[in-house]
C-alpha cells in the first residue's frame, strides 16, 4: 500500500495527540524517494542546499530558481509526502506583493504543499498576505541562517530571559498572522517547550530539543555527507562521506591496476563475428 500524504488537519491532530512528526531536508529525486520510503512525515527543500549542494559558505546566495528546481525534483521523488519549499533570501523581504508572488511560484511550478520563511514580527505582514492568498505558511524563528549576521553568526538563540521572551512573542505573532506551523532552531528546550504549549499550531524543532511537536534534521548531516562543520544538535546516523571516499579510492585502485573492468563487466561479440570483422578489415 502506498504512503498517503499528510494534510494540515492531520498535522494538527498529531500535535493534539502528542505524536512526534519527523521530517528531513532533501534536495533531489533520490534522497526524496528514500525519505518517502522510510516513512518521513514531511520533507523540507531547504535553502541549506546552498551549502549542502552548491558549496556556498551560507544560504544568502541561493536563488528562487535554484529552490524551484530542487523542489521539482523532490516532488517527483516523493509524490506522497508533504513538501515544504524554503523561500530564499530576498524572495520575501523586499515587499509583501513580491512575497506572495514568489510563494505562488513554489506552488505553481513545483507543487509544494507549503512554504517556509524566516523571521518574527517583521515578516508577519508577508505571512498574513501569503496565507490570505490560500497558501500554507510555516514560520521559522531562533537561529535564522539568512540573518545570521545580525545574530552574530551561527549561534544558539534565546538563552537569556529577555531573548527568550522576545522569541515567545515572535512565535505568538506568527501564529496570529496565520502560519499553520512554526520551526524553532537552536533554542533551549525549555523555551521551545513554552512555545509549544503557548501555540495552538504545531511547533517543530531543529536543534531545540525534544520539547516540540516534531523534529527536523538536514539530510546531509544525518547521512554524514556534509563535512564543513557539525552543529552541536546534529546526530550522524551514518558516515556516507567517508564511505563514498573509500568507494572512490577502491575504484581508482582497481582501474589503475587493470582489475576493473573484469571479464564480467564487459560485452562479448557474437560468436563468429570477430572473424568476420577481421576479414572485413583486410579488405
Q: Residue holding cell 538563540?
A: 157
Q: Which of 118, 175, 185, 211 is catalytic?
A: 185
214 SS3 class: strand
φ/ψ of 58, rounded to 5, equals -160, -165
Task: Tell me the three cell numbers of residue 215.
Answer: 523534529
Task: Decide if 88 contacts 63 (C-beta within 8 A).
Answer: yes
CA distance linking residue 240 with residue 97, whole number of Å: 42
C-alpha dihedral, 82 to 179 to 63 to 99, nearest 10°: 130
Contacts of 188 (CB under 8 A, 6+ apart): 156, 158, 159, 164, 208, 209
Note the helical H segments in the chain: 8-16, 29-38, 49-52, 64-77, 96-110, 124-132, 161-177, 189-198, 219-222, 240-256, 273-282
- 17 in catalytic set: no
CA distance linking residue 265 with residue 282, whole number of Å: 29
Active site residues: 185
Amino acid at each position: 500500500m502506498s504512503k498517503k500524504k499528510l494534510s494540515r488537519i492531520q498535522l494538527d491532530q498529531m500535535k493534539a495527540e502528542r505524536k512526534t512528526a519527523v521530517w528531513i531536508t532533501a534536495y533531489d529525486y533520490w534522497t526524496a524517494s528514500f525519505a518517502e520510503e522510510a516513512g518521513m512525515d514531511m520533507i523540507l527543500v531547504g535553502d541549506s542546499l546552498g551549502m549542502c549542494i552548491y558549496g556556498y559558505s551560507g544560504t544568502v546566495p541561493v536563488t528562487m530558481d535554484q529552490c524551484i528546481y530542487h523542489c521539482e525534483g523532490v516532488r517527483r521523488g516523493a509524490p506522497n509526502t508533504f513538501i515544504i519549499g524554503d523561500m530564499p533570501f530576498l524572495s520575501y523581504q523586499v515587499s509583501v506583493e513580491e512575497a506572495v508572488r514568489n510563494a505562488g511560484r513554489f506552488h505553481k511550478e513545483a507543487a509544494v504543499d507549503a512554504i517556509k520563511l524566516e523571521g518574527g514580527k517583521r515578516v508577519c505582514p508577508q505571512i498574513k498576505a501569503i496565507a490570505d492568498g490560500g497558501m500554507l505558511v510555516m514560520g521559522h524563528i531562533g537561529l535564522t541562517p539568512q540573518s545570521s549576521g545580525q545574530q552574530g553568526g551561527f549561534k544558539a538563540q534565546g538563552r537569556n530571559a529577555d531573548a527568550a521572551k522576545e522569541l515567545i512573542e515572535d512565535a505568538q505573532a506568527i501564529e496570529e498572522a496565520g502560519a499553520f506551523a512554526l520551526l524553532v532552531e537552536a533554542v533551549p528546550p525549555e523555551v521551545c517547550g513554552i512555545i509549544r504549549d503557548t501555540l495552538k499550531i504545531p511547533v517543530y524543532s531543529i536543534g531545540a530539543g525534544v520539547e516540540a511537536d516534531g523534529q527536523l534534521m538536514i539530510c546531509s548531516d544525518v547521512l554524514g555527507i556534509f563535512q564543513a562543520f557539525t552543529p552541536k544538535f546534529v546526530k550522524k546516523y551514518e558516515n556516507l562521506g567517508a564511505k563514498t571516499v573509500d568507494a572512490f579510492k577502491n575504484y581508482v585502485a582497481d582501474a589503475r591496476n587493470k582489475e576493473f573492468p573484469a571479464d564480467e563487466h564487459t560485452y562479448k561479440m557474437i560468436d563468429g563475428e570477430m572473424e568476420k570483422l577481421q576479414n572485413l578489415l583486410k579488405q
